[in-house]
Amino acid sequence: GKWVTIRTCLSICPEHCAQRGCQDPSCLDLHVCRFYFLSECNFKGNACRFGHDLQSPHNVRALRYHLLNGLTDDQIGALLRLCRSEATLPRVCKFYCAGGKGCSKQVNCQDLHLCKFFILGSCSFENKCKRSHNIGDQQVVNILRTYGLNGRAEDELNGMYSGGATAMQPDKNYSQGHPSEVLPHAGSSPKKIPVKQSPNSKKGLDKEGDKMKMSSIICVHALVDQCKFGEKCLKVHSSKPYQWQYEGQDGEWISVPDQANDELQKKYVLPSNADCRDCPFASSKVRLVTTPSSSRSVSKFATEWIWYWKDEWGNWNEYGIARGGLDKADISSKDIEDAYAEDTPFRSFSTQRFKYKIDLQKMVQRNLIEDTERPVSRRPRLPGVGDQMVSSHSESSHIPSHWDKIEVGSGTYTFVEVDRGSPEWSTLSNKFRKTMPNERVREIVRIQNEELWEAFSWKKKWMQKDLTDVNEKLLFHGTRKEYVDAIAQQGFDWRISGLSVGTKFGKGSYFARDASYSKNYTDSRQLFLVRVLVGDTVQGHPNYVKPPMKSSPGGKAYNSCVNDPSNPAIYVIFEHAQTYPEYLITY
């Protein structure tokens, strides 16, 4: 058969491969070991600090964003070899090209000892050049082999480095393959995926355009003009709980006008509409940004997602609803969405006659008895349809008995002063004074935020499925005064409120056993006392953007990182639902 060449902007993050690690929490490139996917890694499994796991939450998010979820490791490796970028090309040694004494490492150098103009295809000296033009030199051959580039012709290398040919000819190892081994859906219409212009185009979150480009969630508080983070908020601020956007020439995401936004949403909620190719922005990359899933948020603006499967007659059927003689599934859309929100790869269910398994990455359901597959679709419910969205949460939520009932149900957060003579005050002040004996506690307020508490309770319930003890603790957190209200409203976001702490034990939110430690990170005499689901802990590392996997076969990831497993005093939490800012202590 004929080869079909695919172009993708998916790449391995060059910052992740560097010594400091990726510092961008909104990075949409893969955080994996490049050599594992390009050729061979000398370290096996968890021994490699750069990671081999495409199913980590970060990598699953990146693959979904690039519409490549469901591919195998080999298929992703083939794509990365076809579409080269900064992280998947060896560097030319700057010391070798600089003249003078040259490179002191000689044959042991990990960068190419070649003329930099030759590799770009533009050296005017040709045979008279003082630098090597020989790609057959052993030092060069060894490095090219490491990057999976052995056997490449000179003109191919020129094309890769000059940027003239992002997609290469297929590797020889894959010459006998079939297009469906590389393409997500062989035979389907090709998706228009623009080639990344420059691996260095992302400069963090310094500009407003960058924030819009990287955000994928609508801020529910901004919908009612109550976002306490204001311009520093890393979420999308929109007038509606859904917003369609198209990618501009510079890679920024641009919101479509209101009328087009509503029309696109009305079409997209129907699973029979496969995509939005007929929209006026179809020549660009298009995406939908929504509020958080109602599975994880009790906000009245949360998005309810409905799950459908396609029968043999081409009809889409909602899970948990019996229609036309079809067996009713023993799970609902909410059950599937709960699993999807936790990045669970599969969800099993049954009907009266059959057993099934849903692959939440490939988006198919498999009949385990008849060994057949059906497509699965996840679509938002249009606002105004199905008002039970929030009530299903309120029935199951467990508001703490000691909360001020007058303030419950207000729909926002409130500060309730703790009575100085109460046992609650005594317990909290004693915990604070354990390491701050010379300080006087002036005020303690309880933060009552039903939305955050519901998310915390939901996460606790989910963790209890895997752990006999979720290891719930009260820990301290210090931050700048300007972020106090924002944290009480929206919880912890280390990218904003945790910048002063650093990332010594991982890129997450830091909490301390001792108040005396947290006081070093506040510019006011206030500390949060936070309820934290610590779970299973592991030694932290600066490069961690999530806890590592456990070494046991089939084991899941740890829940948090610590400074010292034998005597932990600092805890790093990577998922904000594992924390609830319960008290604010002023001293």
Model confidence pLDDT, tens digit, residues 318-358: 898 876 556 778 889 999 998 888 878 899 998 888 899 99
Distance, CA of 187 to chain centre: 30
Domain boundary residue, one of 290, 315, 340:
290
Overall number of domains in the chain? 5
pLDDT for 382: 75
pLDDT for 165: 35
Q: Specify if 505 maps to a domain.
A: yes
Domain boundary residue, one of 146, 163, 180:
146
Selection from 582, 585, 573 nearest residue 400 by Cα = 582
Domain boundary residue, one of 290, 316, 338:
290
Residues 454 and 550 in one domain: yes
Q: Specify if 453 maps to a domain.
A: yes
d(CA 576, CA 296): 11
Residues 250 and 373 in one domain: no
d(CA 403, CA 74): 53
Q: Specify if 11 maps to a domain.
A: yes
Residues 475 and 492 in one domain: yes
Tell me whether strands 537-539 and 560-562 are parallel, antiparallel or unpaired: parallel
Residue 312: both structure tokens together: 């043999």
Residues 261 and 184 in one domain: no
Q: Specify if 30 maps to a domain.
A: yes
CATH number at residue 360: 3.30.720.50
Q: Specify if 390 maps to a domain.
A: no
Selection from 78, 66, 36 nearest residue 181 by Cα = 78
Residues 518 and 490 in one domain: yes
Residues 508 and 582 in one domain: yes
pLDDT for 9: 76
Residues 82 and 130 in one domain: no
Residues 105 and 135 in one domain: yes
Tens digit of each residue's pLDDT (9 = 90 or more) over 181-204? 232 332 333 333 332 333 333 333
Residues 50 and 151 in one domain: yes
Residues 488 and 572 in one domain: yes
Would you say 45 and 554 are in contact if contact means Cβ atoms under 8 Å apart? no
Percent of the chain with pLDDT over 90: 22
Q: Is it the case that residue 517 has pLDDT exceeding 80?
A: yes
Selection from 501, 508, 485 nearest residue 575 by Cα = 508
- How many CA within 13 A on the CB side of residue 243? 25
Percent of the chain with pLDDT over 70: 80
User: In which domain, by residue range, is 468 found?
Assistant: 397-586
Alpha carbon separation from 27 to 60, 80, 308 (Å, rounded): 12, 17, 30
- Token pair 């641009």 is found at 254
Handedness of CA 544, 457, 580, 234 (dihedral sign): positive
Q: Is it the case that residue 532 has pLDDT exceeding 80?
A: yes
Residues whose CB falls within 8 Å of the CB of residue 427, separated by 6 or more in sequence, listed in order: none
Residues 267 and 401 in one domain: no
Residues 279 and 372 in one domain: no
DSSP conformational letter for 327? P
Q: Specify if 301 maps to a domain.
A: no
| Alpha helices, DSSP H, located in 217-257 | none
Give 380-388 contacts, CB < 8 A, sequence gap 24+.
Answer: 380/242, 380/265, 380/268, 380/269, 380/288, 380/290, 380/303, 380/304, 380/305, 380/306, 381/269, 381/303, 381/304, 381/305, 381/306, 382/265, 382/266, 382/269, 383/240, 383/241, 383/242, 386/304
Would you say 580 and 531 are in contact if contact means Cβ atoms under 8 Å apart? yes
What SS3 class is residue 511?
Answer: strand
Q: Specify if 318 maps to a domain.
A: yes
Which residues, in sequence order, are bridge partners of residue 350?
355
pLDDT for 534: 96
pLDDT band at 96 (very low <50, low <70, confident <90, very high): confident
d(CA 336, CA 307): 7
Tens digit of each residue's pLDDT (9 = 90 or more) over 427-481? 999 999 999 999 999 999 999 998 889 889 888 988 888 888 999 999 999 988 8
Residues whose CB falls within 8 Å of the CB of residue 287, separated by 6 or more in sequence, listed in order: 216, 244, 245, 246, 247, 253
What SS3 class is residue 357?
Answer: strand
Q: Specify if 392 maps to a domain.
A: no
DSSP conformational letter for 170? P
